[in-house]
Amino acid sequence: MKQSGKSETKIIFDALTLQKFLPHRYPFLLVDRILELKPKERVVGIKNVTINEPYFVGHFPGHPIMPGVLIVEAMAQTGGILLLDNQEKPGEKLVYFTGMDKVKFRQPVHPGDQLRFEMEMIKFRQSICKMQGKAFVEDRLVCEAELSAAVVDRE
């Protein structure tokens, strides 16, 4: 996963590769691919929002909007890749999100939109971290949050 001797690593992970690191599966795997990964600093992920998402049946009939909590969850999953990249055996670890601060929903997300998540590491000590996340549709900021997490052993 890492390339030694380089200060920046650009890697593309598809959905199948993501499943090797994240425990999430349909319908809860909310990241389709990783476009950029700069170890211990930054990750960029993509979620293609389609009308086939199960939550659109009830949120809201005739006016589908992606639930804000799922946007934040998708940001968290993207950030989880950044955290697991720091682990020697990422397949033996899980990321538990422990807090959300300064969450703001700026604009609704609709079917057909492509979300781009940009997560930046603010602090990382041992197994605890804080990240700043932003979600965009094209160049429009639709959500932002500070997320805290802990890396734990899978049981």
Per domain, the residue ranges of the chain are 15-153
pLDDT digits (tens, 9 = 90+) for 84-102: 887 888 889 999 999 999 9
If pLDDT is split at 50, 70 and 90, which confidence band does 8 have?
low
Q: What is the mean pLDDT of residues 127-144?
A: 96
If pLDDT is split at 50, 70 and 90, which confidence band does 6 have?
very low
Annotated active-site residue 63? The verdict is no
Instruction: Report pLDDT for 69.
Output: 97
Q: What is the mean pLDDT of residues 37-64?
A: 96
Nearest-10 Cα torsion for 82, 75, 94, 55:
-150
Do the Cβ atoms of 84 and 21 come closer than 8 Å?
yes
Do the Cβ atoms of 135 and 142 come closer than 8 Å?
yes
Instruction: Report pLDDT for 88.
Output: 85
Question: Which CATH architecture group holds 15-153?
Answer: Roll (3.10)
